[in-house]
Homo-oligomer: A and B are copies of this chain.
Amino acid sequence: MVQYSKKFQAVPEPTIRRMPSYLAFAEGLLRKGQQFVSSTQIANYMNIDPTQVTKDLSYTTIVGKTRVGYEVKAIVDVLSEFLGFSVMDNAFLVGAGSLGSALLHDSGLNHFGLKIEAAFDINPATIGRKINDVEVFHIDQFRDLAQELNVIMGIITVPAENAQTVADLMVAWGIKAIWNFTPARIKVPDDIIVQNTTLYSNLAIIFNKLHQEKREE
């Protein structure tokens, strides 16, 4: 594994997974005008242990006040910054099908620092159309456009069997990170960051729990 200096200790992935929810909670409190929030409150909201919250927040520069809690505004500011939500990164999306266009419509991505600059597909019916102001190009045009725009992320929302082909293209285009929404795993060079997001994994977890209940009866 990669070595880090003590200053930049690697943050556990489960911690990073929880942080966006802390942020969403704090944003809500901020809107309601609440100034401080305790780890107990956050833990209660998240249904986790309070020490988990303090441990998680200790990876950031946020410090709490005994008997008071954390400043809500500080959580919002520091966490947005920490999670990389406060700087805008550019992305290309390949596969303007149903999931692809859902992402194109999702303003949340914009809010959390991701701007989808262009979409690509091979379906003539969608090429040339605009989805939520993002134009859909033929995939062959990717190379030219990648030159123009400073795009660091590629989003794959094509059918699973085409995932590797698209990933290869993205690597060739010089993309740094790939967000893969297919259940297929892709092979890329070591320096490319890959995040697999498979909805069906979540479905599997739900079904497993449902069936577990049945087994216990």
Q: Which residues of A contact B (CB under 8 A)?
A: 2, 4, 8, 10-11, 13, 16-21, 23-25, 28, 45-47, 83-85, 89, 97-99, 101-106, 108-109, 112-114, 152-153, 160-161, 176-177, 179, 182-185, 187, 193, 195-213, 215-216
* Copies of this chain in its oligomeric complex: 2
Asked if A21 contacts B198 (CB within 8 A), the reply is yes
A171 to chain B, nearest CB (A): 15
Asked if B207 contacts A113 (CB within 8 A), the reply is yes
Question: Known contacts being A200-B108, A212-B8, is A206 close to B21, with CB within 8 Å?
Answer: no
Asked if A106 contacts B99 (CB within 8 A), the reply is yes
Point out the residues of chain B lying under 8 angstroms from A103, CB to CB. 102
The closest CB in chain B to the CB of A8 belongs to B215
Asked if B204 contacts A179 (CB within 8 A), the reply is no
8 Å CB contact of A211 from B84, B104, B206: B84
Question: Known contacts being A185-B46, A208-B16, is A109 close to B203, with CB within 8 Å?
Answer: yes
Point out the residues of chain B lying under 8 angstroms from A46, CB to CB. 185
8 Å CB contact of A160 from B24, B182, B209: B24
Point out the residues of chain B lying under 8 angstroms from A17, CB to CB. 201, 204-205
A205→B178 CA distance, assembly (Å): 12
Asked if A195 contacts B185 (CB within 8 A), the reply is no
A109→B199 CA distance, assembly (Å): 9
A157→B46 CA distance, assembly (Å): 19
Asked if A28 contacts B161 (CB within 8 A), the reply is yes
Point out the residues of chain B lying under 8 angstroms from A18, CB to CB. 201
Point out the residues of chain B lying under 8 angstroms from A210, CB to CB. 84, 89, 152, 176-177, 193
Asked if B185 contacts A25 (CB within 8 A), the reply is yes
A112 to chain B, nearest CB (A): 5
Asked if B216 contacts A4 (CB within 8 A), the reply is yes
Point out the residues of chain B lying under 8 angstroms from A19, CB to CB. 201, 204
Point out the residues of chain B lying under 8 angstroms from A202, CB to CB. 179, 195, 197
Asked if B99 contacts A207 (CB within 8 A), the reply is no
Asked if A10 contacts B212 (CB within 8 A), the reply is yes
Point out the residues of chain B lying under 8 angstroms from A4, CB to CB. 212, 215-216
